[in-house]
Structures are given as structure tokens and as C-alpha cells.
Structure 1
Amino acid sequence: MNTIIQAIVFLPLIGFLIAGLFGTSIGAKASEYVTSGFMIIVAVLSWIVFFDVALGETEMIKVTVMRWVQSGSFDAEWAFRVDTLTAVMFVVVNTVSCLVHIYSIGYMHHDANRPRFFAYLSLFTFAMLMLVTSDNLLQMFFGWEGVGLASYLLIGFWYKKPSATAAAMKAFIVNRVGDFGFALGIFGVFVLFGSISFETIFATAASYLPAEGAAEGGDAVITLFGMHLDKAHAVTAVCLLLFMGAMGKSAQFLLHTWLPDAMEGPTPVSALIHAATMVTAGVFLVARMSPLFELSHTALVVVTVVGAITAFFAATVGLVQNDIKRVIAYSTCSQLGYMFVALGTGAYGAAIFHLFTHAFFKALLFLCAGSVIHAVDGEQDMRHMGGLRKHIKWTYRMMLIGTLAITGVGIPFTSFGFAGFFSKDVIIEAAYAAHSPVSGFAFTMLVIAALFTSFYSWRLIFMTFYGKPRASHEVMHHVHESPMVMLVPLFILGVGAVLAGVVFEGHFFGHEYAEFWQGALFTAPENEILEHFHHVPALVALSPFIAMIIGFVLAWYMYIRSPETPKYLAEQHRGLYQFLLNKWYFDELYDFLFVRPAKRIGTFLWKEGDGRVIDGYGPNGIAARVMDVTDRVVRLQTGYLYHYAFVMLIGIAALVTWMMLGSSF
């Protein structure tokens, strides 16, 4: 098993090196086949590990690669920690990455830089695997920054497009804000526990119980921004700093602005990074650090509130977007909010369950969107589509399955339903059942978000595939179904979107919870969410189903029955429509508060500080004075003998004067 785990981690790295270093030599086809072939092997091995660790008897496997960093009391190994949580992430990351690699063979066939693209895909996969297999926070940070680098490269893959390079820089910079908090959190953990190893942290976390600290107070154990914090408050501060990193990577409210712009990258990139893998890194971080978060009630409340606001905010913006990829991007942002609500309520299994099912149906939706874009010659505006279901039947069917999954279609109180019916409904019920001061708020926000999700998801279906064709006659004449190399990944993801929920519900957050997780997720003794979840009122359990039906009916009425209604409502409520269309004006607000002042300060330091002061009085100033002196000295070289004789006389007079005056001292 150790060899299998090392093969899973290092084969994508080998694929990256081959395609990246020798891609121009071996050609695009060879680069595609090598990287995709390695990913097929890795995906199969990942399922083997999943069945052995998560569904088998093996509790945890640790593979030590080498001693990495050792300095004083600081000791960090490079080791792979594979428990149920890691095994689940193996399946998610490598299955989706494998299918995206295969899909990209067809989608990117016209691109001249395919070796570079496939090298970036494999590099991203390797970095993500380093993150999820980490045995300590330093290794996790290495993978964390690695996926940030790879996402920058992939979002800006078409670097000749100014919008793509701007989006890549935006993603990179906004993520650095969260990463600053993450780094501080790691420093805080080391100060508190004297180690960054998960085993040490989890073993000694019980000594930081908040109840004991709150009752007795205690001496300060850490100083943060001038505040002297005792044990309980120190744990809360560290958890909030770690969550700050999760907010950036998982595009939570206030640090979400990079995600929609990241759609400038190729569609397979959107499916890989922004649907199933990188954006779930924050969810993985909080779940992995559950022994620490369980000690801080305040941190869990913050996680719940931020997740609920994100789910609602992103759903409202998704209602009016017209770019097919941006609709799905805001859907991703909203669904990540669901996951964080589950984490904040202590339902860690429900959060990872939704992460698992969401990977299948959201990757399916993104790849179907790519198939649509491929069919209509690069068009992404849904207002220029319509009537496509007769032309691209398989893409339509697969996107319909993805929509049924994300909206949570199923029969209440039964085991029949698509993936989202199980995982999303579990989170909504857990939010209601949680004994938290914000559980009512979170429950309300999630139900409203579920209604909006249903509306904009069916709006996408109706605008894209129904009604009269709104594209030009020339475009409609060339509409065609995608090749099989693009359709096969859709079929496989479609199976996951249908079956992932019903097959694994009992394992992730059901009667087989303890046997499945085997200690990979920690819940404090007072955390009884798993029990309370089963006793919610029937109306609460029915609320997501009712919201889904209302959203579907509204979308059908507004885009099938009465297509003029949306335009009428937009005109009647112009202010609200513009507010949502402009994403609550967060980009404009951040531009006013941060971007413009930063540019003004930068311009001032550049022109005044660097140009006028440093260069003016430094190198340029000295050079100018030297030139002035030399210009004057050069004038002495006239070529006239009497000028030189006159200078000699002046020199002799000065020498005699110095000798006369100097001899008296």
C-alpha cells in the first residue's frame, strides 16, 4: 500500500516534468497521452486506497519520505498521512483530474500550447495531492501555495488576453490575503503546541478546553497584535487565522471576488480548480483541524455565519448572470458556503459528504458548459443561445442530470434522489438542529439559497436549451455535438451525480459514520449534532424540497411560459437588478478602498521617492554633479599656451602662499 500511495502522489509530478521539459520534443499528442495515462492509473489507485482505508479495516497509513526541516525544537518530516479524509480527497481530486485530462484532449485540440497546458494540469494535481496528504502544517502550506501557483498559471494560460492575465493576478493577490492569515495561524499553532505535526497537535489539544480556560482564566500563552491571550482565547485566535486562509482559497464572502473572474481560464480549468479541487482546500483544512475548531465555540460561530452569508450572497448574484460559466461559478461559491455552515455546526461529515457529491455534479456542469461553448463557436452568453437541446442531445442530457443533482431533486423521506438531494438537505437539517446562537439564521439563509439555486440552475437550462435559437444562422448551422473523448467524461461524472449520494449517505453522515471515519474527523463529547439531526420537524426536512419546487416553477414561468417577464421585472426594479448584476458592487468597493489608494501610494513612491529622492540625490544626482564638474574642467583644455602658463602661475602663487602661511602654525 505504501508503494501505491507514493505512486498516486508522484505520477502527476512525473507527468508534469515530462510534458513541461520535453513537450516540444515529443509533441502535443505524446504529452496528452503521457499525462492522461498517468492520471488514469492514479485515479484507479485512488479508488483502491479508498476501499482499503475508508471502507476497509485500515485506519490510517503513514508513509515517511524523508526528514525535511530540522532547526532547534522545530522538526518537520515530509510524510504522507492517509486516513479516511485523505482517501476521500484522493477520489475527488484524482477522479476529476483524470476526467478533465481526457476531456481536454478534445476541448484543447486546436491550441498550439497543449504540452504546457497538460503540464500545468498535472502540476496542479501534484500540488493538491501534497496538500491533502500532509502530515503537518508546513507540508500543507507547501501544497497550499503550490495550488495557488498552478491556478495562477492555468487561469492565465491564454496570457495574450489582457482579461486572462488580470484574472490570474487577481486570484493570486486575493489568495495572498487569506494565506497571510493561514501563515500566522501556523505560527500560532507552533507557539501553542511546540509542534506543527498533526499527531502532536491533536494529542495535546484537549488541554486547551475552552470551558476550563473560560472559567479559570489563566496566564497569557500567546501575544497577537498586542493582545495577551490565555489558552481559550489563543485557540480561538489561531482557529480564526486558519479560517482566514480557508476563506481565501474557498472564495468565501469578502474574499470571493477572484472566483468569477477566474472563468477567463479554459473551461477544463474551471472544472478542475473551481468546481472540485482547489476551492475545497479550505473545507479540507477546517475538517482536518476539527480537533482544534471543536475547542472554540466562537470560531465555529464565525465559520457558520460566513458560510451562510456566502451561500445567500452568491445565490443572489447567480440569479441574473448571463455568462454560462459565471452562473456555475457563483453556484460553486454558494455551495462552498453550505459546506462551511456544516463545518461551523460541527457536522464535519456532512461537509465532506457535500464536498464529495458536489465534485461530481459541479465538474459535470462545468464540462457540459464547455461542450456547449464548443458547440456554439466559443459563445458564452446564454442570451445568444437557446434551442440547443435538439442539436447537442447528449450534452443536454448530462447537463440536465447535473442540474437535477445540484437542485436536490428526490423524494423526501426515501432513499431515491440525486446526489445533492442527500448531501445538501443533510446540511440544511443539521443547521436547524445545531445548538448554536446562529443556527436559525444559517437555516434561513440556506433554504433561501436553495430556492435561488433551483431558480438559476433551471434558468440556465431553459435559456440554453429551450425556446427559439437566438444565435446567428451561421452559428446554428455549425452547431455540433462534442466528440466522444469529451462525452465519455460527462457520462462517468453523470453516474457519480446520480449515485454518489444514495450509495454513500450512510457512511459520510449516517449509521456507519463511526466505522467510516475511524477518528479522521473529531467531534467533542458535547457535540451531538449527529443525534439531533435525526429529530428535526418534518417541515424542516421538507423545506429544501419545497424551495426546489418553487425555484423550478418560477424559472419555468419566467423563461418558458412568459419570457417577457424577466425583462419587465428588470426594468421595474432597475436598482436591485443592477445591484445583483454588479455583484453587490464589491469589485467597485474594493477598487475604491484598496486598489486606487495602493496605486496612488505606489505612484507617489515611484515618482517622488524612487525617482526624485533616491535617483535624484543618489545615482542620477551624483552622476549629474560629476558631469557638471567635468564639463567645467574640460573647458580648461583650450589648447592655448598662455592659458596653461596662467594656470601654472596661479598654482605657484597658491603653493607659495600655503608655504608662507602654513609655516606659522
Structure 2
Amino acid sequence: MFKEMHDLFQWAWLIPALPFLSFLLIAFVTKRSKGLSSTVSILAILTALGIAVAIGIGVIQSGAELVENPAIVNVNWLNIMGLKINFGTVIDPLSAMMLFVVTLVASMVQIYSLGYMHGDKGWSRYYAYQSLFASAMLGMVIATNLLQLFIFWELVGLCSYLLIGFWYFKVSAREAAKKAFITTRVGDFGLLLGILFLYNKFGTLDFVALSAALSANLQNVAVVGTVSYVTVMAFLVFMGPLGKSGQFPLHVWLPDAMEGPTPVSALIHAATMVVAGVYLVARMYFLFHASPAALQFIAGLGAFTAIFAASIAIAQDDIKRILAYSTLSQLGYMMFALGVGSYSGSMFHLMTHAFFKALMFLGAGSVIHALHEKQNIWDMGGLWKKMPITGWTFFIGVLAISGVPPFAGFWSKDEILANALLNGHPIIYAVGLFTAFLTAFYMSRLFFVAFMGPEKPENHPHESPWSMTIPLIILAFFSVVGGLVSLPEHNFAFFVHYGEFEAEAMHWGLAGISVIAGLLGIGLAYTIYLKKSIAAEAIVARFPGVYKVLQNKYYIDELYLWLIHNIMDGLGKALYWFDIYVIDGVVNGIALITRGSAKTLRRTSTGQLQTYAMVFFFAVVVLYLVFAFGEGQLTTLNPLATLGGVK
């Protein structure tokens, strides 16, 4: 049986290859035919989904065998003196789960886009970008070494730039695309340095070989000051996820990235690109596990990002930006889960979050589509009756992210919180618990205001077409049952690797506490925004300063702009004047002296024999006069001539 599964795993390269082939076909063959372009793209990603499902079933049937011995297929790509790099595929529980999640969400987004992007002039270009992005993300997931992963990692960044700035005629979209690209490059520079450090130390970039080399040499690691070399490498590698997964302080690009089409937000900023950083930390967990300092930093930063973004979300009014800050908060959850040792909980939450967050982004797109591009929740209301499918599916997403049982978010979130407490991190547990309360509050606030608030007479909402509602229903289904796969009777093997707190050991008492926190958040939002027993305006009036700070996102963007305009620009001007007056002054001064000397000397080089003869004649005369009339004076001036008398 395992041999048959291994034969199936060898075809994993088709999963990223099919979307890439569809990208080439759309770009060079079908771009003039909108219908053919979308058909090619959707068929390619659905086929990739089918292969991913087959591989996932094979991984489940293989049990724990693939945890210790992943199915790896390598082809030599580069082999020169001192450097050998392979391209290949790796199939294990982690990559199989990611393949399923990425292909499922990408398929739903592309089908959904048939309705949402209807009539858009860039239809074929849109589907070409979607295909290229899916190919890049899938190629990164199955990479067998860091260089292969880094190539697809950068291609994912390029595709995010293209998709965020898809409506390039909008200044805000162009600026958001540049902001995302530049901000993530900051982190990617650190990742590249980490890759170089790892290769310099261990002579390989292959994940399996790196893990073995690190384990074998852990006791003999060189020390840089008081920080181990492993810790330096871990921090450098983590800079990549810091940018790509929107951790503080490189989180600023993600909310602005909502300027792209809403299906793009569902694909990139909910389920795929932003979790690439979490995936990289999980894939390189052997490196971070070897550095307690790095894990502690990841745990602390993840917890801070989770509560930081959640606090901002409670004061936002744009439906997509609320979801964006929610995504940042949940990414913080995944990161601090890895930091506290909950590898399985982090990967589990990555999967369930992909289901319900993609669902809510697509639900938000359905609302925006029905209200003709309105995105402020206070311009909405009464949508529950007019858009029942969108309303019910969005409500399922709210319950899932709020951790209400038995929805998907309950199982993964509570596994993370229990791990944090039981592994000796009570402060992080408290932060995570309060974040769960805030999450339930601001997501319920969004739902009650937009779907159950007073209907606006100027709006004429209508339910979205089937191409948009069917993906909502499918994602809602996974948001309901997605967490049940962790139960022991399902023999679900995706989350056993590095997992010390497995599903069968779930602490139901702690789970009950987190459920109460979520219900309190929902209840508070219901009391303020639906029942109106407490006036929201009164709360804002009582804490105007706090509300203003939260609404303006702690002024982080303004701080960065101030630093750029006053520190970086000022430093740039100082260096400019130093270059002009010091560097150029010295260089140009030497040049002027040389040029002036050359002009003078040039006058003595006439090329005429008569002139040279005259110069020689006068020189001889001068020398004769010096020796003839100056000898006595020279003798008198010579002090040696007066010593001992004149002979």
C-alpha cells in the first residue's frame, strides 16, 4: 500500500505545474477570449485540487510513517564545484495539508470571481495572475530546500504586487501594491541572509539534510558574542515570516492591500500568502526548536501582534479592513502557538482559519457587490433578509472565528490556548484569551451592524449569483466540520509532528473558559449594537482619546512617514551635501589642479625645433652665469669652507 501511495506522491509536481501551464496559455493564447481564459484557469486549479485530495488521502492512510520519512523526489538543478542544488517535491503531513488548503481556497476564489469580476476589462489578465499566484504558492509548499522555497517565495510576493495593484488606474491601489512589495522586501532581505548563513555553516540548503546537520552539530555550534550562531540564523530566517505574515512592526502593508479586488483579499490575505510565513517557521521548526531565545521571541511577538491588531479592529468601520486586522490578529495566534511549542495547534488553526476567513472575505465581497462598492458597515443594514445565503454563511464564519463549538475555530483556538497555559506561558495564555474575547466582539459588531441593523432605504441589495454563493456554501461547510477532523476516531495524521498536546488530550475545562470569553464578546456586541442597551456613542464620548488612537491604528503609519520624511530624508540630504562638497570637492579639486597644470605645461610643448633650441640656449647661458659668477658666493656661504682656515 505504501509503495502505491509513494508512486502517487511522485506526481505532486503536477499540482503547481497545472496552474502555471494555465498562466502561460492565458498569457500567450487565450487572453482575447474571456470565457476561455477563465475556463482554462478554473479547470487547472480544480484538477490540482483533485490531485491534492488524492495525496491527502494517501498521507492519512500512510499514518505516522511519512512524519519520520517524507516522500521526497529530487531532480538535480545546479551542480558546480562546491554547490549542488536540487529541485523537487516533498510530501508529508504538513505539505499535504497546505496543498489541500491552497487548492481548495484558490478554486473557490476563481469560481467566485466569475460573478464578482463580471464585466471587468482586465478579466483575462486577472485569471492569469490568479493562476500564476496559485502556482507560486503551491511550488513553495512542496519545495525540498530553502533556495527552491525562496524562489517561489519571491514569486508569491510579485503576484501579490500584481493582484493588489490589479486596478492600476486607482492611485490607492498602485500605492498599496508598492507598499506591500517594499515592506515585505525588508523581511525578505533578512531571510536571504539567513539562507546564506545556513549554507555557510552546514553546506546544504535541503530541509532534511539541514535538520540532520543541525542535530549532529548542535553541541559544537560557534558562538557569536553571547548569542549562539543558531539563534542568529533563526532570527534572520524569521525576518521573512515577519514581513510576509504581517507581524508587528511590518504589519502595515496588509490593511492597505484591501485596495485590490475582494476575491484577491480572500485568496492572498486570508488563506495563502499571509500564512506562507507561518508555514516557513513550521517547515524550519527544527531550527527554531534549537533556539529557546528565538521561540520565546516568536511567542511574545505573536501574542503582541494578536492583541494589537484585535484592538484596532474594534474601532474600524470598513468591512474589509475589519477582516484585514482580524487576519493580522489570527496570524499572531498562529505565530505564538509555534513559539509556545504548539506546532500541531498552529497548523490546525492555519487550516481552519483559511476556511472561515476566506468565507468571510468572500461574504464581504458579496455585500460590496450587492451595494455597488459600499464598504462602510454603517452604510449597510438589513442585509439578512435580502441576502439570506450571504447572511447565513457569514454568520457561520463569525461563530467559527469566535470559537463557538462545534465550529472549526473552536477546536484549533482552544488547542493553542491550552498549550500556552500547560507549557508554562500564563501571560501569553491571558493575552490569547482576551484576544479571543475581542475577536468575538468586533466580528459580531460587524455582523449585527451590517446584516441585522436598520435597513437603509437608499440601498437595494440582492443576493449574489450562483457563481458567488456556491463557494460561500462550500467554505461554510468546511467552517462547520473542519475542526472535527482532529478527533481521535478520524485518524487524522496532519498534526502529530512535533505536537506535544494532541486533540485526544484536550482540556475541556480550559476550552470552556475560552468559549465563555467568546460568548461574552458576542453578548457585549449584541447589547451595544443590536439591543442598544448601551449606547456606542456614549462609550466613544467617554473615551475619545482611546477611540481616536484605535481608529487611527496607533498612528504607526504616521510614525513611519515622519521617520521617512524627517530622519531618512534628512540623512539623505546630509549625505547628498557631504557628497557634493566633500567627496566631489576633493575629487573635483584634484581634477582642477591637474587640468590647470596641464594647461600650463601644454604651452611649453609647441612641437617647434626652434623654440626648443632657444630654450636649451638660454638654459646653457643661465648655467654658465651661475657657475662663472656665483662660485665665490657659494663658497662663502658654505660653512665647511671656513673651518680650519683656507688651504
Pairwise TM-score range, normalised by the shorter structure? 0.7 to 0.9
2:482 equivalent to 1:500: yes
2:43 to 37, 40, 56: 37
Output the amino acid matched with 2:265. Answer: S
Tell me the equivalent position of 1:639. none
Q: Distance in 1 between matches of 2:60 and 2:124?
A: 35
Post-superposition shift, 1:606? 6.9
Quote the offset at 1:291 in angstroms.
1.8
Amino acid in the other structure paired with 2:464: S
Is contact 2:334–2:346 with CA below 8 Å preserved after alignment?
A: yes
Q: 2:105 aligns with which of 70, 73, 96?
A: 96
Amino acid at match of 2:421: Y
Whether 1:238 aligns to 2:233 is yes
Structure 1 residues 313, 289: closer, same or farther in 2, change over 3 A? same
Query: Secondary structure in 1 aligned to 2:558?
Result: helix
Q: Which residue of 1 aligns with 2:118?
A: 109
Structure 2 distance, partners of 1:577, 1:270, is 26
Equivalences for 1:493-642 in 2 at 5 Å?
Answer: 493-502=475-484, 504-506=485-487, 512=491, 515-516=493-494, 521-522=497-498, 528-530=500-502, 534=505, 538=509, 540-562=510-532, 565-594=535-564, 596-602=566-572
Aligned-partner residue type, residue 22 of structure 2: G
Who is 1:647 aligned against? Answer: none
Q: Deviations 1:360-385 (Å, cap 9, x if unpaired)?
A: 10000000000000000001011111
Q: Determine helix, strand or coil for the equivalent of 2:385.
A: coil
Q: Which moved more, 1:190-199 or 1:135-144?
A: 190-199
User: For residues 105 and 422 of structure 1, what CA distance do their matches in structure 2 show?
Assistant: 33
- Summarize the Cα distance change of 1:465–1:483 in structure 2 as closer, same or farther, 3 Å threshold: same
Q: Assess if the C-alpha contact under 8 Å between 1:54 and 1:83 holds in 2.
A: no
Cα-to-partner distance string for 1:448-501 (whole Å, 9 max, x where unaligned): 00000000111011110112224x62xx23x22111011111111011101100
State whether structure 2 residue 164 is matched by structure 1 residue 141: no
Q: 1:119 to 1:596 in 2, by over 3 A?
A: farther
CA distance in 2, matches of 1:222, 1:134: 30
Matches within 5 A, 1:115-130: 115-130=124-139
Match of 2:15 among 8, 14, 28: 8
What are the superposed Cα offsets for residues 92-118 of structure 1, whole Å, 9 maximum, x if unpaired?
A: 111100111111111111210111111
Unaligned runs of 5+ in 1: 411-416, 630-650
Q: Which residue of 2 aligns with 1:460?
A: 446
- The match for 1:182 is 191
Match of residue 19 from structure 1: 26
> How much has 1:2 moved relative to structure 2?
4.8
**Mapping for residues 295-314 of structure 1, pairs under 5 Å:** 295-314=290-309
1:201 aligns with 2:210: yes
Maintained 8 Å contact 2:94/2:494: no
1:179 is aligned with what amino acid? D
**Does residue 425 of the first structure (1) align with residue 379 of the second (2)?**
no
- Partners of 2:582 and 2:123 lie apart in 1 by 47
Change (3 A) 1:596 1:132: farther
Write the distance in 1 (CA, Å) between the matches of 2:574 and 2:266. Answer: 41
Aligned to 2:471: 489
**TM-score (norm. length: structure 1):** 0.84
2:374 — aligned with what?
379
Maintained 8 Å contact 1:386/1:463: yes
Q: Are the structure 2 counterparts of residues 70 and 602 from structure 1 closer, same or farther at C-alpha, using a change threshold of 3 Å? A: farther
Q: Which residue of 2 aligns with 1:319?
A: 314
Structure 2 alignment gaps of length 5 or more? 1-7, 600-604, 620-647
Could you tell me how far 1:397 is from its partner in structure 2?
0.9
Separation in structure 1 between the aligned mates of residue 189 and residue 28 of structure 2, nearest angstrom: 32
Q: 2: distance between equivalents of 1:288 and 1:368?
A: 32
1:246-261 correspondence runs (5 A): 246-261=241-256
How many Å separate the matches in 1 of 2:324 and 2:351? Answer: 17
* Distance across 2 between alignment mates of 1:548 and 1:517: 25
For residues 536 and 84 of structure 1, do their structure 2 counterparts lie closer, same or farther at Cα, with a shift above 3 Å needed? closer
Q: Which residue of 2 aligns with 1:409?
A: 404
Tell me the amino acid that sits aligned with residue 197 of structure 1.
D
Letter in 1 for 2:19: P
Residues 1:30 and 1:601: Cα distance change in structure 2 (over 3 Å): farther
Q: Which deviations, in whole Å up to 9, do the C-alpha atoms of 1:46-99 show, x marking residues without a partner?
A: 1111001234357232222x3222333321101111111110000011110011
Distance 1:568 1:516, change over 3 A: closer
Partner-residue secondary structure (3-state), 2:455: coil
User: SS state of the match for residue 12, structure 2?
Assistant: helix
Per-residue CA deviations over 1:373-416 (Å, capped at 9, x if unaligned) read: 00000010111111111111111111011111111111xxxxxx
Is 2:72 aligned against 1:62? yes
Q: Structure 1 392/596 Cα, relative in aligned 2: closer, same or farther at 3 Å?
A: farther
Aligned to 2:331: 336
- Separation in structure 2 between the aligned mates of residue 512 and residue 47 of structure 1, nearest angstrom: 16
CA distance, structure 2, for counterparts of residue 597 and residue 18 of structure 1: 48
2 CA distance for matches of 1:164 and 1:394?
A: 30
- Cα deviation for residue 255 of structure 1 reads 1.3
Partner deviation per Cα, 1:610-631 (whole Å, 9 max, x = no partner): 899879x99xx99xx9xxx9xx
How far apart are residue 295 of structure 1 and its match?
1.5
Letter of the 2:35 partner, please give it: K
1:645 aligns with none
Alpha-carbon distance change, 468 to 93 in structure 1, aligned in 2, over 3 angstroms: same
Please report how far the alpha carbon of residue 341 of structure 1 lies from its aligned counterpart in structure 2 after TM superposition: 1.6
| Residue 46 (structure 1) aligned to one of 42, 52, 55 | 52
Identity across matched positions, percent: 41
Aligned mates of 1:283, 1:55 — CA distance in 2: 26
Give the drift of 1:535. 7.5
The answer as to 2:167 corresponding to 1:167 is: no
Q: Contact (CA 8 Å) 1:358, 1:420: kept in 2 or not? A: yes
- The 3-state SS of whatever aligns with 1:389 is helix
Aligned mates of 2:376, 2:580 — CA distance in 1:
46
Call closer, same or farther: CA 1:605–1:362 in 2, change over 3 Å. same
Which residue identity is paired with 1:297?
P
Contact map agreement 1:192 1:222 (CA 8 A) in 2: no
Q: Which one is further off, 418-427 or 593-602?
A: 593-602
Residue 346 of structure 1 aligns to a residue whose secondary structure is: coil
Is 2:89 the counterpart of 1:80?
Answer: yes
- Do the aligned partners of residues 606 and 168 (structure 1) sit closer, same or farther apart at CA in structure 2, a change above 3 Å counting? farther
Does the CA contact (< 8 Å) of 1:275 and 1:362 recur in 2?
Answer: yes
Structure 2 letter corresponding to 1:423: S
Q: CA deviation at 1:177?
A: 1.4
- 1:594 deviates by 3.7
Aligned 8 A contact 1:339 1:352 in 2? yes
Tell me the equivalent position of 1:221.
222
TM-superposed CA distance for 1:235, in Å, is 1.4
| Aligned 8 A contact 1:23 1:116 in 2 | no
In 1, are the aligned partners of 2:347 and 2:495 still within 8 Å (CA)?
no
Give the corresponding residue for 2:273. Answer: 278
Letter in 2 for 1:264: E
| CA distance, structure 2, for counterparts of residue 574 and residue 208 of structure 1 | 56
Which SS does the other structure have where 2:246 is aligned? coil
The aligned counterpart of 2:644 is none
